[in-house]
Amino acid sequence: MNKKRILFVCLGNICRSPAAEGIFQHLVNQQQLTDDFIIDSAAIGPWHVGDLPDARMRRCGTRHGYDFSTRARQLTSDDFARFDYIIGMDHDNLKAIKAKARSAEDESKILLMSDFLRHHNNATIPDPYYGDERDFELVIELLEDSCESLLKQLTTEL
């Protein structure tokens, strides 16, 4: 069986996308599906390459039982060959991801994270970077909702 390969993308890969990666990995581990998925995250830009996620996001994740300890990296055109799904957190992310796509097949892999929300009406997963603790908590809540829905959808395809 082929593994589902998922890449979560946000602006700097220090808040939303590493949180999505950590939450999705946690859910996969809970359901004993680790052999079925490859999960990663990346940034649109190079600003934080090599950095840990923002300390506020790591603290928030720890409070919820998640591990957000991956190092930031930048999205590359090669990621379209390596991943089945490339999931952006907001419309600006989608636009930047599409700019790196080399073909219609590449573009077909691009999805918006908030499209998987089932219990919230948010149009996107907002960037908490310039916000306070409540903004980080909201992102965790939205990502839990969307990751659960995404995993459910993908496991029906396995």
* 15 has catalytic annotation: no
Q: Which among 154, 24, 17 is positioned nearest to 84, based on CA atoms?
A: 154
Q: Which of 40, 54, 79, 127 is catalytic?
A: 127
Segments in 64-132 forming alpha helices (H): 79-82, 91-100, 104-107
Segments in the chain forming alpha helices (H): 16-30, 55-63, 79-82, 91-100, 104-107, 133-157
Q: Which of 16, 40, 90, 147 is catalytic?
A: 16
* 16 has catalytic annotation: yes
* 10 has catalytic annotation: yes
DSSP, res 74: B
Report residue 135 CA to chain centroid gap: 17
Q: Which of 10, 15, 60, 147 is catalytic?
A: 10
DSSP, res 121: -
Locate tokens 């306070």: which residue? Answer: 132
Phi and psi, residue 26, nearest 5°: -60, -45
Provide the annotated active-site residues: 10, 16, 127
